[in-house]
Amino acid sequence: MAVGRLALGEDAADTVAALNNYTLTLQMLGRYNEAEPLALLALQHNQRVLGDINPDTIATLSNYVAILRNLGRNLKRWRWLEKHGTSRGKYEATTIRQRLAR
């Protein structure tokens, strides 16, 4: 991943996609503490470059929320969603909240 970051640059879509995929792998391995800061980095990048309502940003948000849930950080998750949500983002946060409640 470091080689891709050097070759493509920090803001390249492929770099962020690789970072998000890596966080998914860490999740599958149960390594949530390692995945959390990387998922947040990917989310912040997508918000900055793509905007809050881009499908890639929403997918990255869902990934980040899942990590926080697995870490038992519900309060942090909802405060983050409330602070950073747009009208579409708040809709997505509600959808994610309902999905997590199942």
Residue 100: the pLDDT is 55
pLDDT digits (tens, 9 = 90+) for 10-55: 555 678 888 989 999 999 999 999 999 999 999 988 888 888 888 8
Domain residues for the domain of 29 are 2-101
pLDDT at 5 over 50: no
Residue 17: the pLDDT is 86
Q: Over the chain, what is the mean pLDDT?
A: 75
Long-range contacts for 56-60 (Cβ within 8 Å, ≥24 apart)? 56/13, 56/16, 56/17, 58/89, 58/92, 59/20, 60/16, 60/20
CATH number for 8: 1.25.40.10
Looking at the 3D structure of the chain, how many domains does it have? 1
